């Protein structure tokens, strides 16, 4: 039951990531939601099989770096373009 609920929550995060891609903030929030679900499932897996939890610290470190990078991109877009719409800027501009 727990595995199916975690899978459902993960798929909800993927659905939100793939269908709400107009705003950068919504995509960043859905990515963080997916990271939290993966962290919870890894934590339950590692505790269930009595493994060491050091890998979770490495995973949390990389997820914090991913969040900081996403927020810096969001701030950069807000300063340059005034909003966080993906359609407001062109990738081909320098």
At 77, is the pLDDT very low, low, confident or very high (cuts 50, 70, 90)?
confident
C-alpha distances in angstroms, 81 versus 14, 52, 84, 85, 90? 27, 46, 8, 9, 11
C-alpha distances in angstroms, 3 versus 9, 45, 46, 90? 10, 10, 14, 41
Q: Which residue has the higher pLDDT, 2 or 20?
A: 2
pLDDT reported for residue 89: 67
pLDDT reported for residue 90: 66
Token digits of residue 78:
């807000």
- Gap between the Cα atoms of 68 and 9, Å rounded: 24
Q: How wide is the angle at C-alpha 38 spanned by C-alphas 75 and 36, nearest 5°?
A: 45
- Residue 86's contacts (CB-CB under 8 Å, 6 or more residues apart) are 21, 22, 23, 24
The model's pTM: 0.84
Mean pLDDT across 50-76: 92
pLDDT at 92 over 80: no
pLDDT reported for residue 5: 92
């Amino acid at each position: 039951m727990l595995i199916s609920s975690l899978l459902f929550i993960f798929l909800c995060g993927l659905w939100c990531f793939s269908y709400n891609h107009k705003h950068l903030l919504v995509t960043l929030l859905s990515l963080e939601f997916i990271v939290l679900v993966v962290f919870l499932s890894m934590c339950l897996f590692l505790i269930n099989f009595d493994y060491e939890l050091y890998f979770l610290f490495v995973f949390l470190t990389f997820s914090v770096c991913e969040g900081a990078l996403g927020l810096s991109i969001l701030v950069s877009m807000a300063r340059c373009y005034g909003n966080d719409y993906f359609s407001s800027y062109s990738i081909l501009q320098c």
